Amino acid sequence: MKRISVFIGTRPECIKLAPVVWELRKSENIKLEVISSGQHKDLLKQMAADFELEFDHNFEIMRESQSLSTMSAKILEKATQYFENHECDIAIVQGDTTTAAMIGMAAFYNGVKVAHVEAGLRSNNINRPFPEEMNRKLISTFATYNFAPTEGAKLNLLNEGVREESIYVVGNTVVDAQKIVLEKLLKNSNLISDRVFQLVESIKKENKKIIFMTCHRRENLGQPIYQILQGVKLAMEKLTNYTLIYAVHPNPKVHKPVAEVLSGLGNVVLLDSQSYFSTLHLLKSADFVLTDSGGIQEEVIALSKPVVVLRDETERPEVIESGLGQLVSASKELVYEACIRVAQRTQISTSSKNPYGEGRSARLIVNLFET
């Protein structure tokens, strides 16, 4: 039997690795362990419950206001102890988090093969996003399995000298997760929080349109997020037929500017971070989306929702190429103009084919392990 360990540290990793865990559990030829680094504590706990994931081990490394260096060192140390005390043939990591990079390094140091889900994304700016661009480039240098979501991601890896025989284009597992959750929501709307469900229904009864927003990336903290929020405020003062629903990340560096700039606007509703079920309901109900989230950029394609990407560059060019996405820097004027422009569009031309696949990515990944 192959001994495979799946490592999860953050909310996005949980969403995108849950379908892989589900498929691995079906295999009679795989001994599976699922490990939490604890990089996101409360958010990860909530998400694991949503996806019915139980952790065999938890590194519990999160401490308030710890530096990247401290967090990285803790994960590397805990992961090294894990590999020294547990038999493991393949370590699966996802994306570009500190958890993924440090787990990958520890596995490499201990002679364990690394499988990188969502490999090959590149912004080609080492500082944006920071430290994610460095993390994903690092993992690609030692991964045995590079599971690229698109042909473009594969090309990025080839251009960096990654061996072609280690690259597999499998689509993105976020499509798997979204597809499964949407099917569950059709059968049971009680999975959506009462607050979110009632909010959406009340807005619809008023014949208003919905904008859904998230914004929390490290490079947008500080002055950039103030610029973004001021642009959004100007737009909402004009777009009186819209209600903005903002799911606010728990980071105090996000909460403070959001409260200062957007509190008190009659057509703005501020929510805490939501479960994936509630978030997907908000995305599905929205007329357009404002976000700096990578995962949400991918999810809007399957839902055919226009999105204003609040970043200088994106490692997901497929979103822009699809016709749904607009890339907008952290400028009050640019954000305002983008919101007005999207709100006034009457028709959007998009590709009918999802560049991230049709929801079979996890099965393709596990098939490769079983051969």
Catalytic residue numbers read 96, 118, 132, 216, 218, 249
Tokens 């490592």 sit at which residue?
Answer: 7
Nearest one of 175, 164, 163 to 118, comparing CA atoms:
175
Strand order, beta sheet including 90-94: 57-58, 30-36, 2-8, 90-94, 113-117, 145-148, 167-169
Residues 6 or more apart whose Cβ sits within 8 Å of residue 8: 14, 17, 34, 35, 36, 37, 44, 48, 53, 55, 94, 99
Q: How distant, in Å, are the alpha carbons of 31, 146, 147, 172 from that of 165?
A: 25, 9, 11, 19
Asked if residue 135 lies in contact with residue 100, where contact means CB atoms within 8 angstroms, the answer is yes
SS3 at position 242? strand
In degrees and rounded to multiples of 5, residue 364 shows phi and psi of -60, -40
Tokens 């994931």 sit at which residue?
Answer: 53
- End-to-end Cα spacing for the chain: 12
Cis ω before 355 (30° cut-off from 0): no
- What is d(CA 215, CA 128) in angstroms, rounded to the nearest whole number? 15
**Buried b / exposed e along 230-262 (16+ C-beta atoms within 10 A):** bbbbbbbeebeebbbbbbbbeeeebeebbeebb
SS3 at position 112? coil
Residues 6 or more apart whose Cβ sits within 8 Å of residue 159: none
Give one word for 310, left, alpha or beta, with left for phi > 0 and alpha for psi -120 to 50: beta
Residues 6 or more apart whose Cβ sits within 8 Å of residue 172: 16, 118, 149, 150, 298, 356, 357, 361
